[in-house]
Chain A
Amino acid sequence: MAESYNISVRDCDLYYGDFHALKNVNIEIEEHEVTAFIGPSGCGKSTFIRIFNRMNDLVEGCRITGTIKIGLEDIYAKTTDIPLLRKNVGMVFQKPNPFPMSIYDNIAFAPRTFGIKKKGDLDGIIEHSLKQAGLWEEAKDRLKKSAMGLSGGQQQRLCIARALAADPQILLMDEPTSALDPISTGKIEELMSELKSDYTIVIVTHNMQQATRISDKTAFFLLGEIIEYDSTEVIFSKPKDKRTENYITGRFG
């Protein structure tokens, strides 16, 4: 992978069969920033972030045109190493999805896949990842216990730790706190602010306050298009497009 981890999308269209889900999307996502995607359900936000680690490849009938680059590398080039891409572009989903195994094995999964076998090395990665995700103190005495016994908020932080253990450069988060209580949400938001110095973070959120709290830039999606993309402060104080204003002020429809 290249040195820089900004994401550059040019003239991107995506189709699910006949359905034109993303229309001529262009965006530059900066590294070391949190970029939020907002927009009504079905507007293409999740579809769009799944492009960045080629998760849409798994969807039958999905066709993508345009150029998507991470740093200088075209991630849709024939030579792209997809497992490596997915290692570098981690993903956290709306619902915590720990594997039905121990906390330790959840986090060790990616490093083991990429050839790290020594217990000492794995122990170090697990401690570091759990600390980064703010879960170490709560989990250190139960590493061998099932991850399914953790609370929802803890499970989500475990999923973040699991993504971080793969040593990614980009972290995609698709509504990571929508199923969590305010305290767990607060912890994860705090975490994102800390992690952004090392990662490029993209978050899909339906929570407008969350977007204003944590993101540097915000893109508003509507019907498969990016209507407006600007600094979060501009989007939430003086958006240029009336459709953006109508959406964020709750006057849609």
Chain B
Amino acid sequence: MSIRVRYERELKGVFDNLVLMCRHNEVAIEKCVKSLIERDFELAKEVYAEDKLIDKIEREIEQSCLRILLMEHPVAGDFLEVAAALKMITDLERIGDQARDIAEITLQFGDDTYLKKDDTYIKKLVHIPQMAVIVIQMVKDGVQAYINRDLTLARSLGKTDDKVDELFNTVMNELTALIRKNPENAEQAILFMMITKYLERIGDHAVNIGEWVEYAITGHHPKD
């Protein structure tokens, strides 16, 4: 039975907030991609609200971790856990930013200059939604691995990210070909490239999270 009740309670607060932050990130990515596919500009605007909330939770977790470091002087496994949480939230916050950036581009598609005369996209959106599904799962896995201290899951994120990179390359090649075929496709193609890059970056942030989970469990960051 632990004799550090207050410490355990504070740490549980951090865990709960991390799960919440993760959940809002999932929703933000889902909404930004759905709004893109369905050209639902109202939905895209909701992503801004999600991002604001994510920033707010980040600050809360940051304050809790700093308070724990200051007041409780954690060492050993406790220290690793708090240090990892402090690092992970930076990646989670960036993921929220990237979902908002995608929503911003969706809103740009509402501008006449970007759409074709028949009001359609230059391509069918196949790989982008696939990327979104994978990166959402990666973010969930990263946070789950932290909460459950699951080293195998944390280490699997690098491999999953290879799939994201593969899809990224596929989309890039496709967009390059579309520009070659008709230079008028360039405006839209550039926006799709940015969206694809943001999704690819989300995958990288999930990998970073996995690395901090590894640090929390083993005491060693895999990049050291």
Q: A residues touching B (Cβ–Cβ < 8 Å)?
A: 208-209, 212, 235-239, 244-245, 248-253
* Contact A248-B219, Cβ < 8 Å, known A237-B80, A238-B80, A253-B3: no
B2 contacts the other chain (Cβ, under 8 Å)?
yes
Which chain A positions have C-beta within 8 A of B75? 208, 212, 236-237, 248-249
Which chain B positions have C-beta within 8 A of A235? 76
In the assembled complex, the Cα of A176 lies from the Cα of B78 at a distance in Å of 28
Contact of B77 among A249, A250, A252, A253 (CB under 8 A): A249
B121 contacts the other chain (Cβ, under 8 Å)?
no
What is the number of residues of chain B that contact chain A, defined by CB distance less than 8 Å? 16
Smallest CB–CB gap between B78 and chain A, Å?
Answer: 5
In the assembled complex, the Cα of A239 lies from the Cα of B2 at a distance in Å of 18
Which chain A positions have C-beta within 8 A of B73? 208-209
Residue pair B79, A251 in contact (C-beta under 8 Å): no
* Contact A251-B3, Cβ < 8 Å, known A208-B75, A209-B73: yes
Residue pair B3, A245 in contact (C-beta under 8 Å): no
Contact of B78 among A209, A212, A244, A249 (CB under 8 A): A249
Which chain A positions have C-beta within 8 A of B78? 249
Contact of B3 among A208, A212, A236, A252 (CB under 8 A): A252
Q: Which label, helix, strand, loop or mixed, suits the secondary structure of the B interface?
A: loop
For A233, the closest partner residue in chain B by CB is: B219
Residue pair B4, A250 in contact (C-beta under 8 Å): yes
Smallest CB–CB gap between A239 and chain B, Å?
Answer: 6
In the assembled complex, the Cα of A252 lies from the Cα of B77 at a distance in Å of 14
Which chain B positions have C-beta within 8 A of A251? 2-4
Residue pair A238, B3 in contact (C-beta under 8 Å): no
B129 contacts the other chain (Cβ, under 8 Å)?
no
Which chain A positions have C-beta within 8 A of B77? 238, 245, 249
Contacting residues of chain B (1-55) with chain A, CB-CB under 8 angstroms:
1-4, 7
In the assembled complex, the Cα of A252 lies from the Cα of B3 at a distance in Å of 7
Residue pair A238, B76 in contact (C-beta under 8 Å): yes
Assuming A235-B76, A236-B76, A253-B3, what are 13 further A-B pairs, CB within 8 angstroms?
A208-B75, A212-B75, A237-B75, A238-B218, A245-B76, A248-B76, A249-B4, A249-B77, A249-B78, A250-B3, A250-B4, A251-B3, A251-B4
In the assembled complex, the Cα of A245 lies from the Cα of B81 at a distance in Å of 13
Which chain A positions have C-beta within 8 A of B158? none
Which chain B positions have C-beta within 8 A of A252? 3
What are 11 A-B pairs at a CB distance below 8 A? A208-B75, A236-B79, A237-B75, A237-B76, A238-B76, A238-B220, A249-B74, A249-B75, A250-B3, A251-B3, A251-B4
Contacting residues of chain B (75-99) with chain A, CB-CB under 8 angstroms:
75-80
Which chain B positions have C-beta within 8 A of A237? 75-76, 79-80, 219
Which chain A positions have C-beta within 8 A of B7? 250
Contacting residues of chain B (135-179) with chain A, CB-CB under 8 angstroms:
none
Contacting residues of chain B (184-224) with chain A, CB-CB under 8 angstroms:
218-220
In the assembled complex, the Cα of A235 lies from the Cα of B75 at a distance in Å of 9
Which chain A positions have C-beta within 8 A of B4? 249-251
